[in-house]
């Protein structure tokens, strides 16, 4: 296969998304989560972290407890990489998130190649940069502001919880947010506003929010989006206007995947400069 044939890589990613014996029959959601966690370590001030460098290849980052379960996604993508050894892991992991969102009926997301894997283990960002689901609005803001996002973008990005589910053995939380967790939609926002959520301890003793039938769930951080008035205003808009949500999600997710990605001749020198400050 010709180097640089990203359409062929996209097709190979689509082929690994249906997984009949896994979760809801789809690896799509966990691929989205991998793209997000690979990117969400970014720190705007120091320029460190982000998808460039695919630092989750290293044990230090892979074993951050926020990344529990993502080895499933990385292993699936290793199969794709065997077919296209010229693609960087950093490009492959981010592209897989984009392809998965489109495959599940979400918006088209701008994606550009050019990430590299040439980062030494000593430059892996520290653990603890990803959000902690047991916390509230102050924590969410401090994590996403660190990456350079505003309140509107935080709410748009959170709409990815329309996809997939929580696993007791990964995060301690359990269950899906919506009844059709392999279709991208704005149902998550509608349910946040409409359902009566009650706090309960799940089967492993972790507090989460459930609907009346204990079928659907919300994390404490999800509930913060309806408690905080500034976040809530965006939840209401996205619940009402699916097209607006798709547009804003595509922009914010595209921005997320670009955090810390510098291309061109100054690339390497700038990255080394940023890493020296880790």
Residue indicated by tokens 């401090």: 142
User: Are the beta carbons of 99 and 28 closer than 8 angstroms?
Assistant: no
Quote the least distance from Cβ 120 to ligand CCH, whole Å. Answer: 28
Please choose, out of 31-39, 57-65, 230-238, 266-274, the segment that lies near ligand CCH by the rule CB under 6 A. Answer: 31-39
Single residue of 167, 190, 242, 255 touching ligand CCH by CB under 6 A: 167
104 C-beta neighbours (distance < 10 Å), count: 22
Kindly state whether residue 36 participates in binding ligand CCH, applying the rule CB under 6 A.
yes
Could you say which residues in the range 239-268 bind ligand CCH, by CB under 6 A? Answer: 253
Kindly state whether residue 221 participates in binding ligand CCH, applying the rule CB under 6 A.
yes
Residue 215 tokens read as 């079928």
Run of H or E residues at 198? strand 198-201
Quote the least distance from Cβ 174 to ligand CCH, whole Å. Answer: 8
Question: Is 86 a known active-site residue?
Answer: no
User: Are the beta carbons of 275 and 123 closer than 8 angstroms?
Assistant: yes
Could you say which residues in the range 40-99 bind ligand CCH, by CB under 6 A? Answer: 69
Run of H or E residues at 267? helix 267-275
d(CA 104, CA 27): 10
Which phi and psi (to 5°) does residue 18 adopt? -70, 125
Q: Which are the contacts of 266, defined by CB distance < 8 A and separation ≥ 6?
A: none
Quote the least distance from Cβ 265 to ligand CCH, whole Å. Answer: 31
Question: Is 177 a known active-site residue?
Answer: yes
Kindly state whether residue 171 participates in binding ligand CCH, applying the rule CB under 6 A.
yes
Please choose, out of 42-50, 169-177, 261-269, 270-278, the segment that lies near ligand CCH by the rule CB under 6 A. Answer: 169-177
- Burial of 67 from C-beta contacts in 10 A (0-12 / 13-18 / 19+): buried
Report the residue number, 52 or 158, with the smaller CB distance to ligand CCH. Answer: 158
Kindly state whether residue 147 participates in binding ligand CCH, applying the rule CB under 6 A.
no
Residue 158 tokens read as 């959170």
* Choice among 37, 111, 161, 197 that is catalytic: 37
Residue 61 tokens read as 């980052």
User: Are the beta carbons of 259 and 50 closer than 8 angstroms?
Assistant: yes
Quote the least distance from Cβ 203 to ligand CCH, whole Å. Answer: 13
**Catalytic site residues?**
37, 177
Q: Contact residues for ligand CCH (CB under 6 A)?
A: 29-30, 32-33, 36, 69, 131, 133, 140, 157-158, 160-161, 163-167, 170-171, 173, 219, 221, 253
């Amino acid at each position: 296969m010709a180097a640089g044939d990203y359409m062929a890589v996209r097709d190979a990613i689509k082929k690994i998304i249906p997984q009949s014996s896994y979760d809801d029959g789809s690896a799509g959601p966990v691929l989205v989560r991998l793209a997000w966690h690979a990117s969400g370590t970014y720190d705007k001030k120091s320029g460190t972290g982000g998808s460039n460098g695919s630092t989750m290849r290293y044990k230090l980052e892979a074993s951050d407890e926020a990344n529990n379960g993502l080895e499933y996604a990385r292993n699936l993508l290793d199969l794709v990489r065997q077919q296209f050894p010229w693609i960087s892991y950093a490009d492959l992991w981010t592209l897989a998130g984009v392809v998965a969102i489109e495959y599940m009926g979400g918006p088209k997301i701008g994606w550009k190649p050019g990430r590299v894997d040439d980062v030494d283990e000593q430059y892996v960002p520290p653990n603890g940069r990803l959000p902690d689901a047991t916390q509230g609005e102050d924590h969410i803001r401090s994590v996403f502001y660190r990456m350079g996002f505003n309140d509107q973008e935080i709410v748009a990005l959170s709409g990815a919880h329309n996809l997939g589910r929580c696993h007791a053995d990964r995060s301690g939380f359990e269950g899906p947010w919506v009844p059709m967790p392999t279709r991208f939609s704005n149902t998550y926002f509608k349910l946040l506003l409409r359902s009566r959520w009650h706090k309960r301890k799940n089967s492993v003793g972790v507090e989460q929010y459930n609907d009346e039938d204990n079928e659907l769930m919300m994390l404490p951080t999800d509930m913060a989006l309806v408690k905080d008035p500034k976040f809530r205003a965006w939840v209401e808009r996205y619940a009402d206007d699916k097209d607006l949500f798709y547009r804003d999600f595509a922009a914010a997710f595209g921005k997320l995947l670009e955090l810390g990605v510098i291309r061109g001749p100054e690339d390497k020198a700038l990255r080394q400069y940023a890493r020296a400050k880790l």
